């Protein structure tokens, strides 16, 4: 199967390398030339893609605004499966469904990554044991979905979840986007620059995803602003309850809040 991966950052290059390891013929495409040359040198791709001609599957591993532009303007072959890997889905689905398309679109979101970025951080084992989300609507081609799911298994994903684009965006607002905002804000404490020797696992967990690519994540946040604002305001409201208990030195209320949180934590992990 000829597959073109457009965007050879950490996710795109990892996809390309994993697909090639699985036996597929993989072509790489990127706006700048260096990642393509590096992908060839490291054996992540078979060749540079000069176009989409002959591609059976195209994976758009580029930011959402660029992906939406490509979905409108790209010269994809008729019947080709085009899958984006963006962290927002509803806005992209709207663009695709706004006109008749000769390609078959499948929205996806690989739930994997690192704190680092770029092709230098790519790894053909990055997706092993991770979750893969596929979004569907009335216009989604069932055969295309099955092919994309098969490719996801080829690169190592252990769990594939299917849902609507709207459900995806609402849940990702909590599980990914809010987590990055909290981590980013947490690291702005006036004490954070002088905690050497005072940190353990808790601090590392809270700050791990704080170093976001501000350009990419601003794009993601604004494209999912309604759902993310709901979750952010809900978190602020929950935190205010802890502040109120601390101001009042109300141990009974604080214990009750912590118990609620512990039980919620146990429910969350029991569902995994």
13-46 confidence digits (pLDDT tens): 999 999 999 999 999 999 999 999 999 999 999 9
User: Are 138 and 205 within one domain?
Assistant: no
Bridge partners of 29, per DSSP, are 6
CATH number of domain containing 107: 3.40.50.720
Bridge partners of 27, per DSSP, are 4, 47
User: Are 216 and 233 within one domain?
Assistant: yes
CATH number of domain containing 187: 1.10.3660.10
User: Are 44 and 143 within one domain?
Assistant: yes
**Residues 233-258, mean pLDDT to the nearest whole number:** 98
Are the C-beta atoms of residues 12 and 126 closer than 8 Å to each other? no
User: Are 88 and 214 within one domain?
Assistant: no
What pLDDT, on a 0 to 100 scale, did the predictor assign at position 88? 98
28: Cα within 13 Å, side-chain hemisphere: 33
3-state secondary structure of 20: helix
115, pLDDT greater than 80: no
Mean pLDDT (the chain, rounded): 95
**pLDDT over 90 percentage in the chain:** 93
* C-alpha–C-alpha distance, residues 14 and 8, integer Å: 8
Phi, psi for 172 (deg, rounded to 5): -70, -30
User: Domain ends where: 135, 163, 191?
Assistant: 163
Residues 6 or more apart whose Cβ sits within 8 Å of residue 215: none
User: Are 215 and 189 within one domain?
Assistant: yes
What pLDDT, on a 0 to 100 scale, did the predictor assign at position 156? 97
What pLDDT, on a 0 to 100 scale, did the predictor assign at position 76? 98
User: Are 187 and 140 within one domain?
Assistant: no
* C-alpha–C-alpha distance, residues 229 and 221, integer Å: 9
Q: Which of 107, 159, 101 is nearest to 128 (CA)?
A: 159
User: Domain ends where: 163, 187, 216?
Assistant: 163
271, pLDDT greater than 80: no
**From 84-98, 144-158, 188-202, 242-256, the region with the lowest mean pLDDT:** 188-202
User: Are 7 and 121 within one domain?
Assistant: yes
Residue with tokens 């967990």, as numbered in its chain:
205
119, pLDDT greater than 80: yes
**Residues 128-156, mean pLDDT to the nearest whole number:** 97
Are the C-beta atoms of residues 49 and 28 closer than 8 Å to each other? yes
The residue that leads in pLDDT, 114 or 193, is 193
**pLDDT over 70 percentage in the chain:** 99
How many domains is the chain built from? 2
User: Domain ends where: 106, 139, 163?
Assistant: 163
> What are the counts of helices (DSSP H) followed by strands (DSSP E) for the chain?
11, 8
Tell me which residue range forms the domain holding 75: 2-163
What pLDDT, on a 0 to 100 scale, did the predictor assign at position 136? 97
User: Are 142 and 11 within one domain?
Assistant: yes
What pLDDT, on a 0 to 100 scale, did the predictor assign at position 263? 96
Concatenating the DSSP letter of every residue in 101-139 gives -SSEEEEEEEE---SS-SGGG--TTTTTT-EEEEE--TT
What pLDDT, on a 0 to 100 scale, did the predictor assign at position 108? 98
pLDDT tens, residue by residue, 39-91: 999 999 999 999 999 999 999 999 999 999 999 999 999 999 999 999 999 99
What pLDDT, on a 0 to 100 scale, did the predictor assign at position 53? 96
């Amino acid at each position: 199967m000829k597959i073109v991966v457009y965007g050879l950052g950490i996710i795109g290059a990892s996809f390309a390398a994993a697909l090639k390891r699985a036996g597929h013929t993989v072509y790489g495409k990127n706006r700048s030339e260096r990642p393509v040359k590096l992908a060839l040198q490291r054996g992540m791709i078979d060749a540079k893609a000069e176009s989409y001609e002959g591609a059976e599957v195209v994976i758009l591993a580029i930011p959402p605004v660029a992906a939406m532009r490509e979905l409108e303007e790209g010269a994809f072959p008729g019947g080709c499966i085009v899958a984006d890997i963006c962290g927002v889905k509803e806005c992209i689905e709207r663009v695709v469904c706004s006109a008749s398309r000769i390609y078959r679109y499948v929205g996806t979101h690989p739930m994997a990554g690192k704190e680092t970025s770029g092709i230098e951080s790519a790894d053909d084992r990055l997706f092993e044991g991770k979750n893969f989300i596929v979004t569907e609507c009335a216009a989604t081609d069932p055969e295309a979905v099955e092919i994309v799911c098969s490719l996801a298994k080829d690169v190592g994903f252990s769990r594939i979840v299917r849902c609507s684009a709207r459900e995806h965006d609402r849940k990702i607002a909590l599980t990914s986007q809010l987590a990055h905002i909290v981590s980013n804000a947490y690291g702005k404490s006036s004490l954070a620059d002088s905690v050497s020797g005072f940190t353990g696992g808790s601090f590392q967990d809270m700050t791990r995803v704080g170093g976001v690519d501000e350009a990419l994540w601003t794009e993601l946040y604004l494209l999912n602003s309604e759902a993310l604002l709901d979750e952010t305001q809900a978190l602020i409201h929950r935190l205010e309850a802890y502040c109120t208990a601390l101001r009042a030195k109300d141990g009974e209320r604080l214990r009750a809040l912590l118990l609620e949180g512990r039980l919620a934590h146990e429910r969350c992990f029991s569902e995994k």
